[in-house]
């Protein structure tokens, strides 16, 4: 059985003097609760990737750069890497 929806929610609180955020991702078949120190979009994407963090430069990357009016030389440089997968941001 497949479900067309995935729900997500997060809540924050302080623990031992630091901010903590618990994010829930799930549907009627499963729920995952993860507590981290960040509530950012990047953190959410990392939670979706689990332990298999990777980055891909693809047509969506290039389209986003075009829509955000990125410098032409940057767009050309990124386009040369189209299709490359990386396991770190530094590669």
Alpha-carbon span 52 to 91, nearest angstrom: 16
| Tokens read off for 24 | 């829930």
Domain ranges of the chain: 1-49, 54-91
Q: What are 24's strand-pairing partners?
A: 9, 33
Q: What is the pLDDT of residue 90?
A: 57
H/E segment holding residue 64: helix 59-67
Higher per-residue pLDDT: 14 or 51: 14
Higher per-residue pLDDT: 23 or 45: 23
Identify whether the C-beta of residue 51 lies closer than 8 Å to the C-beta of residue 18.
no
Question: Could you report the per-residue pLDDT of 44-84, keeping only the tens digit for each?
Answer: 888 888 877 777 888 888 898 889 988 888 888 888 888 77
What average pLDDT does the chain have?
85
């Amino acid at each position: 059985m497949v479900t067309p929806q995935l729900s997500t929610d997060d809540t924050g609180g302080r623990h031992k003097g630091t901010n903590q955020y618990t994010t829930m991702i799930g549907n009627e078949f499963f729920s995952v609760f993860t507590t981290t120190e960040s509530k950012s979009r990047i953190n959410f994407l990392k939670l979706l990737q689990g332990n298999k963090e990777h980055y891909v430069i693809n047509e969506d990357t290039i389209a986003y750069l075009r829509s955000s009016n990125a410098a032409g030389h940057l767009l050309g440089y990124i386009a040369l890497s189209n299709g490359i997968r990386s396991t770190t941001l530094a590669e």
